[in-house]
């Protein structure tokens, strides 16, 4: 199923219309949603559940998440009966720090590669369609995001990467959450706008760049959604 053949039409779809059309026309293609449980991810999952209630939801458990993130994950799995796939790195945090120390302090890119990028890409090997909650407004690194792109994994396998909310603004995300009574991570009420691993997440001081609070401002992407991983 090559969605790029209808890329122009896809850009004209609403988020709900795109999810509806792709689920109905996927012809049995294996699909999943990757989710860090942020607001956008929960909006996309809410849409997908209308048509594919048992779609696999991949949560990347680095071992460094906020306690609130883990509690919210467990609560939503129970409340929504989510088909959660909890993906973990090859080593525990204790093993990792025993070998490298607090790598996130000195080599955050290497830490992300080992505990986020490599495990996630391995977990995507079983799928053909990869839904995300990415939006163009989230970061300068995402301004050219398309609603559908081809993504080549390190193994060479190509997935159709679908971001239904690509053209949504932040307010629209919250309008949808409020209209549909979607529970959300309580960290948002504490002023966080982009939420990842606790040691590498701060509140952004830049209202135009919510991801500026990630990694102490040293970078904006962990490596999963960088353009170098996508096929142009």
125: number of Cβ within 10 Å:
11
Find the angle CA(214)-CA(115)-CA(187) to the nearest 5 degrees.
40
Confidence of residue 230 (pLDDT cuts 50, 70, 90): very low
Which ranges in the chain belong to alpha helices (H)?
7-12, 15-25, 39-49, 67-80, 93-100, 103-106, 108-112, 118-123, 170-179
Residue 56, token pair as written in the block: 């696999």
Domains present along the chain, CATH in parentheses: 3-188 (3.40.50.620)
In this predicted model, what pLDDT tens digit does every residue of 86-122 receive, in sequence order?
Answer: 999 999 999 998 988 998 888 888 888 889 889 999 9
pLDDT-based confidence at residue 227 (cuts at 50, 70, 90)? very low
Looking only at Cα atoms, what is the longest distance across the chain? 51
Name the least confident of 21-25, 77-81, 228-232. 228-232
pLDDT in tens, 112-171: 888 988 999 999 999 999 999 999 987 777 788 899 989 899 899 999 999 999 999 999
Residue 34 CB neighbours (<10 A):
25
Can you give the pTM of this predicted structure?
Answer: 0.85
Q: What is the pLDDT of residues 26-69, one digit of tens each?
A: 788 999 999 999 999 999 999 999 999 999 999 999 999 999 99
pLDDT computed for residue 221 by the predictor? 46
**Confidence at residue 104, expressed as pLDDT on a 0 to 100 scale:** 81
**Catalytic residue selected from 112, 197, 200, 222:** 222
Task: Please say if 222 is a catalytic residue.
Answer: yes
Per-residue pLDDT of 16-25, as tens digits, reads 999 998 888 8
């Amino acid at each position: 199923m090559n969605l790029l053949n209808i890329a122009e039409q896809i850009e004209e779809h609403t988020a709900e219309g795109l999810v509806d059309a792709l689920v109905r026309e996927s012809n049995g293609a294996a699909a999943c949603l990757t989710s860090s449980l942020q607001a956008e991810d929960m909006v996309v999952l809410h849409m997908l559940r209308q048509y594919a209630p048992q779609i696999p939801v991949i949560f990347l458990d680095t071992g460094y998440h906020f306690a609130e993130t883990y509690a919210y994950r467990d609560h939503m799995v129970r409340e929504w009966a989510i088909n959660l796939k909890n993906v973990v790195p090859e080593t525990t945090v204790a093993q990792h720090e025993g070998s490298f120390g607090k790598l996130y302090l000195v080599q955050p890119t290497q830490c992300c590669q080992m505990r986020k990028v490599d495990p996630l890409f391995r977990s995507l090997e079983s799928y053909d369609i990869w839904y995300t909650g990415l939006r163009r407004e989230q970061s300068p690194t995402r301004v050219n995001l398309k609603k559908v792109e081809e993504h080549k994994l390190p193994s060479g396998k190509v997935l159709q990467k679908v971001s239904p909310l690509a053209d949504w603004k932040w307010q629209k995300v919250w309008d949808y959450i409020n209209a549909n009574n979607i529970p959300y991570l309580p960290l948002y009420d504490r002023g966080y706008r982009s939420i990842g691993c606790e040691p590498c997440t701060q509140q952004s001081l830049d209202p135009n760049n919510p991801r500026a609070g990630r990694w102490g401002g040293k970078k904006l992407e962990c490596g999963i959604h960088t353009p170098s991983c996508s096929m142009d």
